[in-house]
Structure 1
Amino acid sequence: MYLGCQIMSEKNSEIKDGLELKTGSKLATEYLHSECGATISRNTAKTYQSYLRGYIEHLDEISVEVLSAKSQNVRSYLKKRARHGRREGTLRLDLTVIKGLYKWIRLETEKEALIDYLSLENIDIGRFRTPPTIEREPLNKDELEALYDELDTFRDRLMVTVGAELGPRNIDLRKIRVGDVDFEGRTISLSDSKARDRYSLPISDTLAVELKHWLTVYRPTYPFSEDHDYVFPSNQGGHLSDSRLLAIVKEAARNAGIQESLGESWMSERQKDALGTDADIREWKKVTVHALRHTFGHLMEEAGLSPEARRDALNHKSTETTEKYYSSNATEYKELIRELLHKERDNDDN
């Protein structure tokens, strides 16, 4: 269902449609208001506001307005971001968002900006000295089995199984409801919080049996489980929090001896506030909840599913997105997961 984007003004305390967006600039906020629901989604608008807010803060620091900014001001902002350890992909998104703002001003408003958005095409992000990209890695068969062995409860093992076999994002895994599981049709209806829609995937007979056993025998023993319909309840009631599910997976990976550091990145003050930390550096770990999604994507690729089929299973909007994030070398995945959707597990080798 389509949900339009209602964005509060900079001085209005009302939040409409559950979405609050602030950029520090009335003009930049109007840009998001105009594009959200038309050319970008709600979640993209929320992402863009963060990038625009950083740019606006930079302009404020040098006492420059959005309309009076010049191309060199954009370059100086990107240079500062590079000095602070931002990676090339982040700088490219910075430039994309800023360019989108000035394109909108030029084509859809009566205001005049000194920056010609076409001139921003001449900024070569590749010339900035940025750290290497952190490459997310899927789990191989041995790593996944080691992770299972260190999970303490049936609930935690089943969550990891669903994460690896169906590939939902963290928030969507935590918010699966009892009514989303169709045992007769052997499917699960999943939310896509990023695209704000839903999609269904088939589940294997084995996974269906485990889910049925969990819902009828184990789940009712959790406190407050009868007060809500989340498949994977928290001990405090409701669904698990983002941080708790991530902690469960990371602790099991550490105990299994499979946790690795993929790299580090500099954190802004805003990011530190969001994560509740004073640390200036964020360490990126190999085994996270999102690593299960990568495992699912690579599993499908190695099983020979077409880019279109993988796109639909991951609920991506384009095959380009799927290929960008889920293209691997010839890693062996035949026994990575017990079954691939409705296919029987291949036990003839390995």
Structure 2
Amino acid sequence: MIKYHPLEDVLDIYIENLDLKHKTVRDYKLLLKRYIYYLKSRNIRYAKRSDIITYRDSMWEEDLSATTIQKQMVIIRNFYKWIRINRKFYHFEEIYEHDVSEGLKGAKIEKNYKKEALTLAEAQALIELSKSKVGTMFGLRNYAILLLMLTTGLRTIEVARAKRRDLSTIDKHDVLYVQGKGKDGSDMFVKISKPVKDVIQEYLFLRSDKNKYLFITNHQKETVKPITTDTIRYSLKRLMDEAQVSSPKVTVHSLRHTCATLSLQTGGSLEATQQLLRHANIETTLIYAHHLNRIKDDTVDRISNYLFQEKEEEEC
């Protein structure tokens, strides 16, 4: 990871020159720091257009709203545009003469784009494949994460933030406290089924480290860092590819959508599914119900049958 990024000093100058409300300036600073940290964590000193696109796509994976992503991309474009215009005055590096963000769209993909879920057969095939790899620590860890995400609908960021102490019991039910999207503390919880809890406990039992996080990347040396969202996505994406359930519209985040879909298909109410996924607005949960209703709708079949039936009668 890069310790210092050239955009950090540029950001300080940019923020000083913003003639906006205090809250807006603060938002700009926080969002641009988030972007710069992303570049630093991936050792990207000078971002290319493709790097910004990948960053935008990573926000979709974190289930950020279209509004948030659009806002972030507008701020990034404004930042790079300002750098290009003021490069000579502030003696910024020559590489910033070209604006790599120009023309990039924030909400190019529709919000429903990645709402596709795995079928029951695909989910079961993925589970079986992952289970066959539990002979290693990485395999066992990935199996535990897969089961946790499929049964609770946790986001990758929520899995990465989970700590050992977040495992608890409420009224004899196993639960995991969750640090939700945009939250600073673990203020919500999800119930964990016994099969999932058993796999997590087996994984923790075999670990010899004292790391406070529930899942980690390196099991060979002592570390205080949690597993990263990139590692989770990479590990599970490899499983999905091997199980042949991956496609442009099926990503690791589809595990969350699969959980929601299975909840509704097995008789769960909209309210119960909303609580499971911790949606602030039930309108978000309704997306899954509408999708299922459209799949079950036989209107197209009825029209097709009627048309072809009429054609057959005419030919007779």
Q: TM-score, normalised by structure 2?
A: 0.57
Distance across 2 between alignment mates of 1:321 and 1:231: 29
Please state if 1:136 is matched with 2:123: no
Match of 1:294 in 2: 257
Distance 1:169 1:35, change over 3 A: same
Match of 2:165 in 1: 179
- Residue 23 of structure 1 contacts residue 52 of structure 1 at CA under 8 Å; is this kept in 2? no
Question: Root-mean-square deviation (CA), in Å?
Answer: 3.9
Distance across 2 between alignment mates of 1:254 and 1:201: 28
Distance across 2 between alignment mates of 1:215 and 1:56: 44
Please state if 1:148 is matched with 2:112: no
Please state if 1:202 is matched with 2:191: yes
Q: Deviations over 1:311-338 (max 9, x none)?
A: 2221221111222366432679xxxxxx
Aligned partner letter, 1:157: Y
| Matched ranges for 1:98-247 at <5 A | 134-151=113-130, 152=133, 153-183=139-169, 184-197=172-185, 198-216=187-205, 218-220=206-208, 225-226=209-210, 228-235=211-218, 237=223, 238-247=225-234
Distance across 2 between alignment mates of 1:24 and 1:139: 48
How high is the sequence identity, in percent, across the aligned residues?
18
Match of 1:32 in 2: 24
Distance across 2 between alignment mates of 1:156 and 1:142: 19
Distance across 2 between alignment mates of 1:257 and 1:49: 34
1:46 to partner: Cα distance: 7.2
- Secondary structure at 2:258 match in 1: helix
- Secondary structure at 2:113 match in 1: coil
Aligned partner letter, 1:194: G
- Residue 301 of structure 1 contacts residue 327 of structure 1 at CA under 8 Å; is this kept in 2? no
Match of 1:261 in 2: 248
How many residues align? The count is 223
1:160 to partner: Cα distance: 0.2
Match of 1:87 in 2: 108
Please state if 1:51 is matched with 2:74: yes
Q: Deviations over 1:282-303 (max 9, x none)?
A: xxxx131x11111111122223
Q: Deviations over 1:42-89 (max 9, x none)?
A: 9889753432342576699899xxxxxxxxxxxxxxxx55xx696375
Distance across 2 between alignment mates of 1:188 and 1:134: 29
Distance 1:86 1:215, change over 3 A: closer
1:250 to partner: Cα distance: 1.1
- Residue 164 of structure 1 contacts residue 296 of structure 1 at CA under 8 Å; is this kept in 2? yes
- Which runs of 5 or more residues in structure 2 are unaligned? 1-7, 29-33, 35-63, 87-102, 134-138, 297-316
Q: TM-score, normalised by structure 1?
A: 0.52
Distance 1:9 1:314, change over 3 A: farther
1:29 to partner: Cα distance: 6.5
| Matched ranges for 1:335-346 at <5 A | none
- Residue 188 of structure 1 contacts residue 201 of structure 1 at CA under 8 Å; is this kept in 2? yes
Distance across 2 between alignment mates of 1:325 and 1:33: 37
Instruction: Specify which structure has the higher proportion of helix.
Output: 2
Distance across 2 between alignment mates of 1:210 and 1:11: 45
- Residue 149 of structure 2 contacts residue 256 of structure 2 at CA under 8 Å; is this kept in 1? yes
- Which runs of 5 or more residues in structure 1 are unaligned? 1-7, 14-21, 37-41, 64-79, 91-132, 263-285, 333-350
| Matched ranges for 1:62-81 at <5 A | none
Distance across 2 between alignment mates of 1:26 and 1:49: 16
Distance across 2 between alignment mates of 1:248 and 1:146: 16
Aligned partner letter, 2:245: I
